[in-house]
Structure 1
Amino acid sequence: MYLDVYDAIMSHRLTAGTKLTEGALGDIYGMARHHVRQVLARLAADGLVDLERNRGAHIASPGPREAEEMFELRQLLEAKVVDKLAGRLTDAHRQALRELIERERNAWMRGDRPLWIRLSAEFHIELAKLAGNGLLVDALRRLVSRTTLLISNLDTTGQQPCSFDEHAAVVEALGDQDSTRAQAQMARHLDQCACRLLAPAPPRFDLRSALGKDAGTRKQA
């Protein structure tokens, strides 16, 4: 259930503000409500779901003020990440990052949006891991997941808000041990990520379909 909901959120099949009910999820997966609550709590810890008393669970829907603050914080944290990494990346690290970017590019070219979005987010987490600060990784994981909800999926042509080409430019600058250029490339990239926001969630949707489950099919935990 966690992976299905995560993928549906990251690919925008479940859009910001969508209500997730314990009963509906339990019916789809054949799970008891207390197990569903555990999954929702994990999604909330990852910043993808908001849990509110008497309102239940909703896909996180950051407002304009929160969105601005999150991207401002990402600018500060990810500038620190690339500054720490400039001159420290090994050949193996650079090759692994290039392979991740190539997988991201291939996913986009194949039209595999869920995988493309996941790999785009993973690039930022991998950079944080290489910087060697566990608390920074945790903070960025939540921020990256939550800000991914804001990136519009309406424009499917041309340069994308979270671009593999921009990721490649950051890695190239890091490989040249140019901290100033790496920070500038990351700042430009994050500005592009923030340039479009999600449209409001559609008023009606089918939860089972959004999670990729055929009607009448139940998945046991």
Structure 2
Amino acid sequence: MAARPKLVTAAAVRQEPREFERQQEARLPPEERMYIEIYDAIMEHRLPAGTKLTEQTLGEIYDLARHNVRKVLGKLAADGLVDLEPNRGAYIASPSEQEAHDMFELRQTLEQMVMQKVARQATAADFDKLRGMIERERDAYMQGNRPLWIRLSADFHIELAKLTGNMLLVDMLRRLVSRTTLLISNAETTGQQPCSFDEHLLVVDALQKKDEKGAQHEMAHHLEQCACRMLKRPEKRFDLRAALGKGDA
């Protein structure tokens, strides 16, 4: 499954990442815009696990026929973000506790492989890019921009996987990272953040020193911290239009 479209230049991202993206997204075809906006709403926890995605409402929001809406939902399902249930419809993925443990166990295995490959073959330019991502992640957190921080935290793991050059590995991790991001608690305690920029920085420091074992240790610890905070399913109902920033129109 293709990655979420990259719509921004490095300079623009550093200035106003979301505003610039929104301007470009507004010019996309409705199907692509729907995919990106739902993807972001899920990854940023504006649409929490278990939320129903109603075809009729989405069709009205994006002025799309139902078969086009189904195509987008199918793409999100392939990404691991949406579950399609026969005779019930589409729901934001809500993994069970057992699936959550299984996913983090698999991530541990795959990301250890990533550490091994990146420690051996990443370049100085690669590490500069990773450190830039961590800086943006830190900035987003310090500015209280939790949605952007969550997305950047997830993107960091995908970027590491890309440095291996193994696209099958990238696709597998993208699905797992997307799906496990849904499980991170909405009520983290300050100083105990899952997918924190501090933990990411320790990983990169070890990798740049070509300390393969050290990098594997830091990544294993980081993923253990992430796995400790499973999402508590909210009981309240969510307004689909509001979560997608569409108001009452």
Q: Report runs of 4+ in structure 1 exceeding 6 Å deviation.
A: none
Match of 2:119 in 1: 86
Match of 2:141 in 1: 108
Tell me the SS of whatever aligns to 2:202. helix
Q: 1:15 aligns with which of 48, 60, 85?
A: 48
Match of 1:39 in 2: 72
Tell me the SS of whatever aligns to 1:177. coil
- State the one-letter code of the partner of 1:42: K
TM-score when normalising by structure 2? 0.85
Q: Distance in 2 between the 1:186 and 1:121 partners?
A: 14
Match of 2:57 in 1: 24
What is the alpha-carbon root mean square deviation over aligned residues? 1.0
Match of 1:219 in 2: none
Would the aligned equivalents of 1:61 and 1:149 in 2 still touch at CA under 8 Å? yes
Q: What runs of 5+ residues in structure 2 fail to find an aligned partner?
A: 1-33
Would the aligned equivalents of 1:150 and 1:198 in 2 still touch at CA under 8 Å? yes
Q: Distance in 1 between the 2:235 and 2:58 partners?
A: 19
* Number of aligned positions between the proteins: 216
Tell me the SS of whatever aligns to 2:121. coil
Tell me the SS of whatever aligns to 1:62. coil
Match of 1:4 in 2: 37
Deviates more, 1:10-19 or 1:156-165: 156-165
Would the aligned equivalents of 1:10 and 1:117 in 2 still touch at CA under 8 Å? yes
- State the one-letter code of the partner of 2:238: F
| TM-aligned CA deviation for residue 35 of structure 1 | 1.0
Q: Which has the higher contact order (CA 8 A, sep 6+)?
A: 1
Q: 1:141 aligns with which of 157, 161, 174?
A: 174
- State the one-letter code of the partner of 2:167: G
Confirm whether residue 215 of structure 1 aligns to residue 241 of structure 2.
no
**Distance change in 2, residues 1:150/1:169 (3 Å):** same
Q: Distance in 2 between the 1:202 and 1:14 partners?
A: 13
- State the one-letter code of the partner of 2:107: R
Would the aligned equivalents of 1:16 and 1:61 in 2 still touch at CA under 8 Å? yes
| TM-aligned CA deviation for residue 97 of structure 1 | 0.5
Tell me the SS of whatever aligns to 2:147. helix
- State the one-letter code of the partner of 2:51: T
| TM-aligned CA deviation for residue 119 of structure 1 | 0.9
Would the aligned equivalents of 1:11 and 1:114 in 2 still touch at CA under 8 Å? yes
Q: What runs of 5+ residues in structure 1 fail to find an aligned partner?
A: 217-221
Match of 1:122 in 2: 155
Match of 2:6 in 1: none
Q: Distance in 2 between the 1:206 and 1:46 partners?
A: 23
Q: Distance in 1 between the 2:176 and 2:204 partners?
A: 21
Match of 1:48 in 2: 81
Q: What fraction of aligned residue pairs are identical, expressed as a percent? A: 68
1:162-183 alpha-carbon deviations (Å, 9 max, x no partner): 1011011000000111111000
Confirm whether residue 179 of structure 1 aligns to residue 204 of structure 2.
no
| TM-aligned CA deviation for residue 29 of structure 1 | 1.6
Match of 2:235 in 1: 202
1:87-128 alpha-carbon deviations (Å, 9 max, x no partner): 322111111100011011111111222211111111111111
Q: Distance in 1 between the 2:66 and 2:193 partners?
A: 39
Q: Distance in 2 between the 1:199 and 1:64 partners?
A: 11
| TM-aligned CA deviation for residue 143 of structure 1 | 0.3
